[in-house]
Amino acid sequence: MLSRLLKAKIHRAVVTQAELHYEGSCAIDGVLLDLAGIREYEEIHIWNVTNGKRFTTYAIRGEENSGIISVNGGAAHQADIGDLVIIATFGDFTVTEADAHKPRLVYANPNNTVNHTANCIPVQVA
């Protein structure tokens, strides 16, 4: 049996472009993409913290150190420039793999540079 777990997350990135007429996808700064371990053309979930919308697309590599987070194609209707987003991927793991799995978490600064990385989410307190 496989369990679907969070594989990677880029937390609180800021949308820099919304290109309605670009060919689909989401361009992500190559540095963020690599640190998170998100592959080009991999399915990604985007959760818009600003407006609450959630949608799925695929990742494409943006210029390294550019800070680009460009939501493209029809998905551009779901995000505006300046919106805070969380970008996540999931993977299927066997029980043994799941027991050892640690997600790759990248926390972004407001200019989409890396604030810090982690491999676990802190326990939420009451």
126 in any annotated domain: no
Question: Considering 22, 58, 66, 107, which one is annotated as catalytic?
Answer: 58
Q: What's the sign of the alpha-carbon dihedral 24, 29, 30, 35?
A: negative
Give the C-alpha distances (Å, rounded to integers) separating 87 from 2, 96, 126: 23, 26, 26
- Annotation marks residue 41 as catalytic: no
Strand segments, DSSP code E, in 1-126 are 3-14, 17-19, 26-29, 43-48, 54-62, 69-72, 84-93, 104-108, 114-118
47 in any annotated domain: yes
Quote the pLDDT of residue 24: 74
Q: What is the CATH number of the domain that holds 94?
A: 2.40.40.20
- Annotation marks residue 58 as catalytic: yes
112 in any annotated domain: yes
84 in any annotated domain: yes
Residue with tokens 């995000």: 79
68 in any annotated domain: yes
Question: Considering 3, 22, 25, 70, which one is annotated as catalytic?
Answer: 25
Which residues span the domain enclosing 95? 3-118
In the chain, the number of structural domains is: 1
Quote the pLDDT of residue 88: 99
Closest CA to 46 of 64, 36, 65, 59: 59
Q: 80 forms bridges with which residues in the sheet?
A: none
124 in any annotated domain: no
CB-based burial label for 37 (10 Å; 0-12, 13-18, 19+): middle
125 in any annotated domain: no
- Ordered mean pLDDT values, 10 residues apiece, the chain (126 residues): 97 98 93 98 99 98 98 97 99 98 98 98 92
Full-model pTM: 0.96
Q: What span, in angstroms and rounded, lies between the C-alpha atoms of 110 and 83?
A: 10
21 in any annotated domain: yes
